[in-house]
Structure 1
Amino acid sequence: ELAAPAGLKVEDGRLRALTCVRTEYRGERDSSGRNIPFPVPDSEFDIELDTLILAISQHSVLDFFGDSPPELTERGYIKVDPRTFESSIPGLFAGGDVAEHGPSSIVRAASDGKAVAAAIIARHTSDGPVTTGGEPNPIDLQGLVVRRARREYRVPIRFTPLDQRDGFEETVLNYTAEEAVAEASRCLDCQDICSLCVGVCPNMALMTYEMEPLSIGLPSLEFDGTNLVSTARSDFRVDQGLQIAVLTDFCNECGNCVTVCPTSGEPYRDKPRLYLDREDFEAQTDNAFMFLGDGVVESRVAGRTHRAELNGPIVYRAPQFSVTLDPDTMDVVEAGVDDAAATGEHFSLEPLAVMLTVARGVLGSLPQVPVHAESGTAVGHPGYTEG
């Protein structure tokens, strides 16, 4: 149920309860599109407790950098080198919740610290390049999903019997080797797959899809006055093999996924949004994808439609130019530009790389995802207008 804390109940100097009030939605939304909860009159109730721990926010406070902060990601975390964890400020390293990947776990933070230490040692000694922890173990996704569906209770802790507590021996005993293994086997491997938002979506609009880690040498294009030529390459990488997509026609934007997201994200907004209705798709400004069948995908970028044909040679049509690429090498086979292009103007293929990544993952692991329908089939979201 919807509720919000309203106060604390203290008796004789001791905390006795947390007073809450029930809330309800009335169709109004804030500037971010979220439903605004309103208190229900005379609905207060108490939750009895004797300890209250405040856990607020997961955002990093970086004001101590003054006027010279390091480069940040779009989400406000410190951008770092993926191998050394060095920031844009030479000699400044960042790991854990403040680093590029954002809040994760104490295990991830400890791993980052180990990598930072190795990078610093390598820089100041002759030990050679930074070594990694080896290749990641393959993920048994089906086995993990099955294991998560079964509740395994904690292995009980053993205590020294009361009649034997007459010395300085430990009262809480260690697990035996067998008990320790059994307790460790309860781990849900959250570092490999989160997908909490998938489990709480009442309409099953959020879906986990698999993809091979991807590294593309993406050509940079420049108009030389006559032709569109490839001048250099930039590295486009996607390292995470499990991703989330949103089938927007099923999503009613209830906010459940936002509530459970451990990294303060908004999955229904942040993740690739898949559309079935043409009219609804073309009303979007960014982060909108539509599969048309036969390896054809379209996306909306800055309010304009981009199109890619991925079966055979990659044919990419952007608003100002088009290009055909070899799918194996990403070499430019053919390129053209419209008459409005200026000499020296640069054109990015990053929207194509994003479309390619989403299409390969979704179409390769979620064959049940339908292609687009006719216009006018989408059900509007009451009180919500796409910004």
Structure 2
Amino acid sequence: WLPKKEKMVYTSGRALHPLSINLASKLQTDFKGKLDLTFSAGVDAFNVTETLACNLTPITVCSDLLKPGGYLRLIQYLEKLKKNIIANGAKSIEEFIKANDQNNSSFISASLNNLNKYAESVLENKTYHKSNFPYENIKTQRELTDYDCIKAPCIKTCAIEQNVPEYMYHTSNGDYEKAFKVILKDNPLPNITGNVCDHLCQSKCTRINYDNPLLIRGIKRFVSEKYEDSLNLIPNKKNGFKVAIIGAGPAGLTCAYFLALEGFKVNIYESISFAGGMVSGFIPIFRLTDKQIKDDIRLIEQIGVSLHYNKKVDNDFFSELKQKNDFIFIGIGASLSKKLEIPGEDLDKVFNQLSFLSNVRSGKNIKVGKNIGIIGAGLSAVDAARTANRIKDSGGKITMIYRRTKKEMPVGDDEIKVVIDEGIELLELTAPLSISRNDGNLNLKCIKMELGEKDESGRGRPIPVDNTEFDLTFDTIITAIGQDISYDFIDEKSIKINQKTFETQIPNVFAGGDVLRGADSLINAMGDGKKVAEEIINRSKKVLKIVPDEQTKKLSLEEFQKIQAYREFGGDLPEISLDKRNGFEMVHPVLDEATAQKEAARCLFCEDVCNICVGVCPNFSNVSFEVEKTELPVWQINKNGNNLSFKQVDTFVVKQGNQILNIGDFCNECGNCDTFCPTNGAPYKTKPHFYLTEESFNSEKLGYYLTNNSLKFKKAGNSECLTLSNGAMIYESDEVVVNIKHNDFTISDIKFKSDKIKEINLNHAVEMIFLFQNLKNNPLFK
């Protein structure tokens, strides 16, 4: 099955270890255990003991040490080996191997017995199953900068930029009030998001490259329920501005929350009888309870937001709102189900997912029969399938019909898992053609599909396969292929928005959430609402009341290095057994306190320190160094004849105490730091390049060279030098010589090297001052 040009297959990743162990078992069995086998195939701290007990020595390690933590990971290897050797009462490797056999065998027989036993058990270890770990990497679209690059990828991935490490820290210390306050600084719907957020933050948790991601959403829910008493949030006094918000869904509620805290008078107009939008109306109770929703709504009402229910906005009322308010935010949701546009979809017992989910959530007795077909595979389709599964007649079956494959389903892996766990069948590569009535049942005519070239969604385009029609019979069919927006008080041309400000074509009228994106996630709608609130506040020349406090510095560099050295797998969210899922009990109970604290303590607090590029560099070429927070004036000098004018055009700012440089002498540009960096950049390309010898500096085209009293730099044939002399700093380039006072960084003297030069910007001179001051005493350059 290999391509003709390939003579062998190269295996890497999770499968490597169990496959290699089983190959070793086969070889040793054939040779009666007498082969000398060295082993290097997926060894890590969690299997090194078992590997050693198989007498696969010497054990060598490669890939594991190229991951975050780097060489520090070896500490855990040695500790686990020591613990197991002592536990077995062994004083040598041979004694350890024989002790693990427990059959009083010879050394060779014990080694083979251990190997064969491990070869069998390792295949069942879910750690090595790809389906058990769907995450890819923690890279984001954030740009990598020369300095101040530390930003937790979980925060960057979150649409509301929830400060996850901060509330993890307080949770781990048992200070739930502080943790709850941190959550509320960015998130007015903690109970809702703690249960049904799509938690993309977990897919970018730095722990992915160590063991498994934190239960971020579960810990948020724990904190929100643990600290149920609403905080006494006191908004600023009224500032005289009025804001009308159309739609009480996640976008509108979020916008209202931040505006009300800042003193705006906020009125929300909702067309139905309750707030929360899709969240309140359609998400099943076994995922989100009424109490959890009401707790969040109550919090928003307590800070002065007025909610007006059953108030549909038409043209006249919209005109009235524009006259009576300074700002308007349109945050209506996608409340209409998309039509299949096939014959028979209006027959009795054919529901759309929204009416079905709404009726069931509101307590109506819906009879669906034994066999139910769900057309679609998005989140609302999954909710409909799981709900139907709980109310179907005994012995019934739920079938989801999807035109693509499981791999392309637009839901998270946890949703796919729960569909499989609950016994729901997924019929892949199948599309509906028509629905008809047949002897009291519904006949669904389908056709098989195949995937063609990728479409704009990045997934293969489904294409019908000729002559593959077939029929399915159901008692009830639920269509769930998406949702549409419905509004008639503003035309499509007017609602076109500025992507940066969210303002529509009508001044001071903004829009966000589903009306902007189409049916989308809860957290994206909240993100839009928060950004619109910030835009309105900025236009009103106010300052956000809810902004993160100065963050608690959670780790020193030394403490960070210690936790980097250890991998510790966390558990899964608790869930009720499958035999209890015939009702509407919450599938996932809240975490208990001990578990929440222990899980939160696994956080690497990578908003404080990152240093991933340092740990993954096998050559030690990426180096972290500590700096003082810096603000230096950037001067522009203009020459007009003999007259010079000085103007501060910028400020060079460094806010973070930990920075990175690259040692060019050591770096072979392997790109490993690029692989693991949580930004879209490569540290070995972006970070300042330093050389340790003048010879290596002279042989390169770009970089720095630091001596006791000077810092040299060159780029593209141009050279610069900063020299410390008699308490002053002298900056010299190919164009200018500048004397800079050491105490206040003002310019005391300047000489242009050419009359042709009329203007000079000292931005890079200031950067060199920063580097020189913070590195001149660094032992690396002594």
1:224 aligns with 2:637: no
Find the counterpart in structure 1 of residue 744 from structure 2. Answer: 329
Tell me the SS of whatever aligns to 2:734: coil
Could you say what secondary structure the match of 1:259 adopts? helix
How far did residue 154 of structure 1 move? Answer: 1.1
CA distance in structure 2 between the partners assigned to 1:122 and 1:160 by the alignment = 45
Greater Cα offset, 112-121 or 206-215? 112-121
Residue 774 (structure 2) aligned to one of 346, 361, 368: 361
Q: What aligned pairs does 1:70-85 form with structure 2 within 5 A after superposition? A: none
Cα distance in structure 2, aligned partners of 1:212 and 1:20 = 57
Deviation, 1:52, is: 10
Note if contact 1:152-1:186 (Cα within 8 Å) is conserved in structure 2. yes
Which digits, 9 at most, give the CA deviation of each residue in 1:189-219, with x for residues without a partner?
A: 1222222111111111111112123221212
1:301 to partner: Cα distance: 3.5
In structure 2, C-alpha distance between the alignment counterparts of 1:359 and 1:112, rounded to whole Å: 41
User: Structure 1 pair 360/130, CA: closer, same or farther in 2 (3 Å)?
Assistant: farther
TM-score normalised to structure 1 length: 0.63
Which of 119, 130, 140 pairs up with 2:556?
Answer: 140
Distance 1:111 1:279 in 2: 56
Over 3 Å counting, the alpha-carbon distance change for 1:111 and 1:73 in structure 2 is farther
Alignment partner, residue 650 of structure 2: 234
Q: Please say which structure displays the higher CA radius of gyration.
A: 2
Q: Could you list the runs of 5+ residues in structure 1 that have no partner in the other structure? A: 1-8, 10-18, 22-38, 61-71, 76-89, 95-108, 372-387
CA deviation after TM superposition for structure 1 residue 248, in Å: 1.2
Distance 1:330 1:146 in 2: 39
- Counterparts of 2:671 and 2:6 in 1: how far apart (Å)? 20
Verify: 1:263 aligned to 2:679, yes or no: yes
Deviates more, 1:161-170 or 1:264-273: 161-170
C-alpha deviations, 1:204-240, integer Å up to 9, x for none? 1111112123221212112222254423442222233
In structure 2, distance between residues paired with 1:181 and 1:73: 32
Matched, 1:92 2:500: yes
Amino acid at match of 1:318: S
SS of 2:618's equivalent in the other structure is coil
Q: Distance in 2 between matches of 1:259 and 1:163?
A: 43
Q: Given the alignment, which residue of 524, 536, 558 partners 1:121?
A: 536
Structure 1 residues 157 and 93: alpha-carbon distance in aligned structure 2, compared to 1, 3 A threshold:
same
SS at match of 2:781: coil
Deviations 1:276-325 (A, max 9, x none): 23243234444x1111113x111113422211124722211111211111
Pair 251,91 (structure 1): closer, same or farther in 2 beyond 3 Å = closer
Q: Kindly state the Cα deviation for residue 273 of structure 1 after the two structures are TM-superposed.
A: 0.6
The answer (yes or no) to whether the contact 2:138–2:678 under 8 Å persists in 1 is no
In structure 1, the residue corresponding to 2:569 is in which secondary structure? coil
Partner in structure 1 of residue 151 of structure 2: none
Which aligned pairs between 1:38-57 and structure 2 lie closer than 5 A?
41-43=7-9
CA contact (8 A) 1:315 1:325 kept: yes
Q: Distance in 2 between matches of 1:261 and 1:241?
A: 19
Distance 1:44 1:91, change over 3 A: closer
Secondary structure of the structure 2 residue equivalent to 1:246: strand
Answering whether residue 722 of structure 2 is matched by residue 308 of structure 1, we say yes
Q: Distance in 2 between matches of 1:224 and 1:276?
A: 41
The structure-2 alpha-carbon separation of the partners of 1:53 and 1:142, relative to structure 1 and needing over 3 Å to count, comes to closer
Q: Any unmatched runs of 5+ in structure 2?
A: 16-128, 147-497, 503-523
Of structures 1 and 2, the one scoring higher in RCO (CA 8 A, sep 6+) is 2
Q: Residue 332 of structure 1: CA displacement?
A: 1.0
Partner of 2:352: none
Match for residue 602 of structure 2? Answer: 186
How many residues were matched structurally? 292
Q: Which runs of 4+ in 1 moved over 4 A?
A: 44-60, 72-75, 109-115, 161-167
What CA distance in whole angstroms lies between the structure 2 residues aligned with 1:191 and 1:352? 29
Where does residue 168 of structure 1 map in the other structure?
A: 584
Query: Please, which of 251, 260, 267 is the counterpart of residue 667 of structure 2?
Result: 251
Cα distance in 2 for partners of 1:110, 1:289 equals 46
Q: TM-score, normalised by structure 2?
A: 0.33
Structure 2 letter corresponding to 1:289: Y
How far apart are the structure 1 equivalents of 2:145 and 2:563?
A: 35
* Distance change in 2, residues 1:171/1:119 (3 Å): closer
Q: Residues 631 and 651 of structure 2 are in contact (CA less than 8 Å); yes or no, is this contact kept in structure 1?
A: yes
Would the aligned equivalents of 2:633 and 2:648 in 1 still touch at CA under 8 Å? no
Q: What SS does structure 2 have at the residue aligned with 1:43?
A: coil
Matched residues in 2 for 1:20 and 1:92: separation? Answer: 49
- Check 1:370–1:154 CA distance in 2 against 1; reply closer, same or farther (3 A cut): same
Higher strand fraction (1 or 2):
1
CA distance in 2 between partners of 1:243 and 1:228 (Å): 36
Q: Deviations over 1:107-146 (max 9, x none)?
A: xx999878744531213446x2345423233352222222
Task: Find out whether 1:293 has 2:689 as its counterpart.
Answer: no
In 2, are the aligned partners of 1:322 and 1:336 still within 8 Å (CA)? Answer: yes
Cα distance in 1 for partners of 2:529, 2:714 equals 40
- Residues 55-105 of structure 1: CA deviation (Å, up to 9, x unaligned): 799787xxxxxxxxxxx9999xxxxxxxxxxxxxx98259xxxxxxxxxxx
- Give the whole-Å Cα distance in 1 for the aligned partners of 2:614 and 2:699: 26
Letter aligned with residue 120 of structure 1 = E
Q: Aligned Cα RMSD in Å?
A: 4.0
C-alpha deviations, 1:236-271, integer Å up to 9, x for none? 222333221111111222221122222121211211
Counterpart-to-counterpart distance in 2, 1:329 and 1:59: 39
Task: Return closer, same or farther for 1:91/1:257 CA change in 2, 3 Å cut-off.
Answer: closer
> 8 Å contact 2:635–2:648 — kept in the other structure?
yes
Q: Offset of 1:156 from its aligned partner?
A: 5.4
Could you tell me how far apart the structure 2 residues matched to 1:222 and 1:198 are? 41
Q: Mark the CA change 1:136 to 1:168 in structure 2 (over 3 Å): closer, same or farther.
A: closer
Opposite residue 760 of structure 2, the aligned amino acid is F
From 364, 370, 374, give the equivalent of 2:781.
Answer: 370
C-alpha change, 1:354 and 1:124, in structure 2 (3 Å) is closer
